[in-house]
A and B are shown apart, each in its own frame.
Chain A
Amino acid sequence: MGKITLDLFRYDQAVDAEPHRDRVDIDFPETATVLDALEYAKAEVDGSISFRRSCRSAICGSCSMNINGVTGLACKTPISTVLRKDNSVKIDPMPNFEPMKDMVVHMDPFWDKYSRLKPYLQPADKDSDHERERRVSPEDMKKLVAVANCVMCATCYSLCPVVSVDPSFAGPAAISYAYRFIEDTRDSKQKERVAQISDDYLWLCAHCYACSYCPKHVDPHDRIIDTKRKSIEIGMLDGAGPRHALVVAKTIKATGMLGENEVVIGTVGRFNFRGILKIMPLGLRMAAKGKVPPLIMHPVDKVDEIRTIFNAMEVPVAS
């Protein structure tokens, strides 16, 4: 047992103009979880402390909240791993959501993005055409297992920096779920699904791995990369994202190096004059300080070896 201070975000949207913080002192074992501590504080100190919870074992996905700046499941977070130097734990509602009451947030944007995926199997034929269930080989099932572990706790969505500045981005969980249906051999809407998730800014992922804090090891960042690869594989090459990937590959194959100039122009689009005008101010600011990549890139030593790798692996590059 030890003295622990819960440093809590307090707010009731129905009553309060502004949120405030409460510090609640409890005697509690550090080996317990953050959820245990909150339950104890609610039962023994202040019954008005609000948070979502149900299963207490990382299955229901209800108790995600921001603990010392990183979102996670309160039921899966031992206090000992997050205790600050002054024996306190700072608890806030999930960022990227509108707070409702204390740690309870409005989840609607998260569910809306999930619903847009049509998150159910859409087979090509009717169940009645089959004598038995549709079967999936263990090999094909492997691709779906990681996403099947998702409990929709929205930890990834709440930590996503792109969502924080552009709420139109689908976010890591929705893209992972899109992948789960795109790769399901029983589904017949692969192209429609890739097109839909591309419209919801698949390529806006910033590669930051904030979603690697997923408490269920869905690894959304890897599922996002898988989905991008799928979209290129089925020939959806329009847009800055696919252009970027293909021109990066082209420059590496040509010289061994990622050629910054060619990548910028190739991503924006050589004949996209409006796009090029938009990036001009930054280019000029940099040029004024001499920050200009070389106009002609010299190949690295033994560049033939690099081309051999690209050719042997049949890696597509921009033309």
Chain B
Amino acid sequence: MTAILADAPAKRRSKSAETKRYGFFPGCVAKESCTELFNSTLLLADKLGIELVELTAASCCGASVLNDINRDVARVLNARTYAQAEALGLDDVITICSTCTGHMRASNKELLEDGTAMEHANGILGKFNASYKGTVSVRHLLWLLIDDIGLDNLSKMVVNPLNGLKVAPFYGCHIIRPESVNGWESARNPHSLEDLIEALGGEAIDYAGKTRCCGFHVQLEKDGIAPNMVGQNMRMAKDKGAEAVLTPCPLCHLALDGYQADSAARWGRTDLPTFHLPQLVGLALGVDATKLGLKRHVISPGEVLQAHDLAPMHVA
């Protein structure tokens, strides 16, 4: 059932993995409301000894919204971003957002599999003397951590183990679905975040909400939808004993962190702090906790971090 893409990153050693030099596509939210994600990603990269070369001319990936207006524009914009990576000699574009991952991979799949789409994109890129040859792979930081660094190496690098912190993984839709676009792990039963949490010394909480939607993309369309979706999922996590949530997606982070206050009336108080992926990995690997932006969360992670001896109260 799972269709694995031609450029699927699984078990593939890219040139970037050898040179430890990757193209970096931070996406919009990490440069706007969630700068703590951007900063902690760079701090983590430093700790891992890899170089993330930011694609400073890249545009938004289309955010799953441009498709509503035009069938092709997001694909052409993304082709332009890949052309920049190629021009810099980079064959991996690393994302830190589930929505960027899914939509940039969907564009790349179309470009690589459909000659007409590639020709169309290059026809427009030609107007400013750019072209995309088709050598780029789009991968999430989570996949880089597991495929290129490795869970064994990561657990050896842990200096600040999570001391049994009970963490509920929250994948975000677009890093797993549709399977035909992502295919790096099973969309029905992913376990990369659980594996990572365990490798860092935490306890991964299994709950049905981990692969469900946070509601971010419809938060403004109708009242109550996103808070209810957040409440439903966080209730499940809390009932299974979670103390915190870990997500590879800043959009999920914004919804989960922001809406638990609103969902409490229907779903009861959950108050689960929501970590960005590089914040929690960074913390375990010994990145200076005061630089991870832990104070920038609506739901403070201070108490749970202190309870597990992970960071003093004042950093969060």
List B contacts of A228 (CB < 8 A): 68
Count B-side interface residues using an 8 Å CB cutoff. Answer: 65
Bound CA–CA A123/B72 (angstroms): 31
Selected contact of A212 from candidates B65, B76, B177, B215, CB within 8 Å: B177
List A contacts of B224 (CB < 8 A): 165-166
- A295 to B: closest C-beta gap in Å: 10
Contact A162 B225 (CB under 8 A): yes
- B299 to A: closest C-beta gap in Å: 9
Contact A286 B298 (CB under 8 A): yes
- B239 to A: closest C-beta gap in Å: 16
Contact B217 A206 (CB under 8 A): yes
Given known A206-B217, A289-B296, contact A244–B65 (CB-CB < 8 A): yes
Contact A293 B33 (CB under 8 A): yes
List B contacts of A288 (CB < 8 A): 298
Given known A165-B229, A286-B298, contact A257–B68 (CB-CB < 8 A): no
In terms of DSSP, what is the predominant structure of the interface of chain B? loop
Judged by a CB distance under 8 angstroms, whether A111 is at the interface is no
Judged by a CB distance under 8 angstroms, whether B258 is at the interface is yes
Q: Which of A81-114 contact B (CB under 8 A)?
A: 81
List A contacts of B64 (CB < 8 A): 207
- B21 to A: closest C-beta gap in Å: 20
Judged by a CB distance under 8 angstroms, whether A9 is at the interface is no
Contact B222 A212 (CB under 8 A): no
List A contacts of B213 (CB < 8 A): 161-162, 206, 208, 210
Given known A165-B225, A206-B229, A229-B71, contact A221–B173 (CB-CB < 8 A): no
Judged by a CB distance under 8 angstroms, whether A306 is at the interface is yes
Contact B69 A316 (CB under 8 A): yes
Choose, from B11-19, B124-132, B133-141, B196-204, the stretch at the interface: B124-132
- B99 to A: closest C-beta gap in Å: 8
Q: Of residues B62, B68, B173, B225, which shows the largest number of chain A Cβ atoms within 10 Å of its Cβ?
A: B68
The 8 closest A-B pairs by CB, nearest first: A208-B213, A209-B177, A301-B57, A212-B178, A293-B32, A165-B228, A245-B68, A208-B173
Interface residues of B (CB under 8 A from A): 1, 28-29, 31-34, 56-60, 62-73, 76-77, 80, 102, 124, 127-128, 130, 173-174, 177-180, 187-189, 208, 212-213, 215-218, 220-225, 228-229, 232, 258-259, 261-262, 295-298
